Chains A and B, each alone.
Chain A
Amino acid sequence: MVGKTEVSDEQLMERVRAGDAPALEVLYDRYVRQCFGLALRLLGRDIPLAEEAVQDVFMKIWSRPDAYSAQKGKFASWLLSLVHHRCIDELRKRSRTEVPLDFEESGSRLDTEPDLQADPGDQVWMLEEQREILAALNEIAPTQREVIELAYFRGLSQSQIAARLKQPLGTVKTRVRMGLQNLRTLLEKRGLVRD
């Protein structure tokens, strides 16, 4: 198996574009836990549904590998955005925009915990990245972070967020936009996104 340090994601995607299924397998092995963790959170701990969502995303990448280009940023971020959208679509389809209570009560949705199954090298890399992202999130205003999390993890529109928080729609829109802009600036400083 090819490790992360041997072949970059972008190189693997080049091979996937050429029809190299083992290259996709390497990407699957590399990111399935991250994708599954996200899907699990978004889908209220529904394991079969989360697995289906993740597999659908990887199959979509296989079927349409040209959908990704380096201009879209890091492969991992792009991949997770696919998982996110697939899960939000699933929630909408099933009219299950409300996640179970235990998830609601689990505190911050972005707390990190060790993934004992991951390759130690990958684990260090992922934990470091998570730490940086959390640090960036903690630097933006709590009100901005709150609306971003509601939009991201619940798939709520800005109107729905405004209704839930009992805040003017304009306020919510400003918080979302400013929050993302501030977050981007912070992530750029940390080298986690690029122009």
Chain B
Amino acid sequence: MGPQDTTQSDWEDNLLDYLFGAMPPDEAARFERGLIECQEHVALAQRYTQVIGVLGTAVPPAEPPDGHKDRFMARLAVTPQERPASGLAGDSTEQPARMPGLTVVAGPTLAGETPQPAPRPLPSDGAEKPAPVDIAAARQERTRTSWAIAVASVAAALALFFGVWAFILNSNRGSGPIAPGYEALVIQPQGEYTSTAVVLFNRDTLDAHFYSSNLQPLPPDKVYELWLLPAQGDPVPAGVFTGDPAGRATHLHTADRPLRNYVGFAVTIENAPGTRSPEGPIIMAGTFQ
């Protein structure tokens, strides 16, 4: 139904249902197609939209739940900007969001540069960033330690990727490939452990956003501890955390220097309240150099 099919009064009534979101999506889509053909109707719609928008301002604010900002920033980090689009009243008529194109990487990470309509294949499309450290030396060093054994066992477990992503992004709506500069590193379970995690980070910044799922409950005297793995030398403690009743945890670590100075992440189980050097079992590990 469009402006040409009805009287002005009828059309304005339909416009109000449309603007209040009371029109079913398919009907709203048809209405909007007719609406945008006429500048006068667009102007009228905008006048009403301004008033309706103000109604929301009159509702008292409320504090979102803990961790909302971290969850938002995580989504922002992996969502590129798309092409411009028009919309009058909040795009209530928009078609269901397409499945996002996600770039999630095990082992070497890939930095997405352009939006993709569908998930890209996992590693090796040639987009790895040049390693800023001496990889050979780093590998040599790591092979001398149990850390290297754990890290080397990282395997592509696609189902786990999507499980973790579902946790990170909740509905996934609106997300897409990794924004330029940001990377998502999948931290793989080690040995008998089944926990997984994703770390969102930018090599040039200090912050690492860590999202873990399938964590096993720990006794009160134990904690999970995250470690930054340098190319050479001992792991650097990056904070402790425990899982929630659903076995999930989020953790934000601010490193002492840009993350390009490290080659990966690992998680161990340590005695509470944590330790300066790893002593407990490694449950997850992953590298990005």
Contacts and interface: CB of A to CB of B under 8 A. Distances in A.
Contact size range, A: 35 or more
Interface string B62-95: 1111001101110111011111111111111000
B51 A193 contact: yes
B30 to A, nearest CB: 15
A51 interface: yes
A127 to B, nearest CB: 9
A27 to B, nearest CB: 11
Contacts of A65: 81, 84
Contact of B54 (A59, A151, A187, A195): A187
A157 B49 contact: no
Q: Is the interface of A mostly helix, strand, loop or mixed?
A: helix
Contact of B62 (A36, A58, A192): A36
Interface in A92-146: 92, 109-113, 115, 117-118, 126, 129-130, 133-134, 137
Interface stretch (B141-149, B173-181, B224-232, B272-280): B173-181
A33 B61 contact: yes
A136 to B, nearest CB: 8
B16 A177 contact: yes
B68 A62 contact: no
Contact of A63 (B57, B79, B92): B79
Contacts of A89: 21, 25, 92
A56 to B, nearest CB: 6
A183 B92 CA distance: 23
Contact of A60 (B50, B60, B91): B91
A81 B61 CA distance: 15
Nearest to A64: B85
B22 A88 contact: yes
A139 to B, nearest CB: 13
A151 B21 CA distance: 8
A118 B46 contact: no
A73 B61 contact: no
Contact size range, B: 35 or more
Residue among B17, B50, B56, B86 with the highest chain A CB neighbour number at 10 A: B56
Nearest to B22: A157
B63 A130 contact: no
Given A72-B49, A85-B92, A115 B59 contact: no
A134 B176 CA distance: 40
Contact of A55 (B20, B51, B72): B72
A180 B22 contact: no
Interface string B161-204: 00000000011011110010000000000000000000000000
Nearest to B64: A36
B64 A76 contact: no
Q: Which 7 pairs show the lowest CB-CB distances between chains A and B?
A: A77-B53, A80-B56, A85-B90, A66-B84, A88-B21, A33-B61, A37-B62
Interface of A: 19, 21, 24-25, 28-29, 32-34, 36-38, 40-41, 47-48, 50-52, 54-56, 58-60, 62-67, 71-74, 76-86, 88-89, 92, 109-113, 115, 117-118, 126, 129-130, 133-134, 137, 148, 151-152, 155-158, 160, 173, 176-177, 180, 183-184, 187, 192-195
Given A55-B71, A56-B174, A73-B49, 12 more contacts: A40-B62, A41-B59, A50-B64, A51-B65, A58-B76, A62-B79, A62-B81, A67-B84, A81-B89, A86-B92, A115-B61, A193-B50
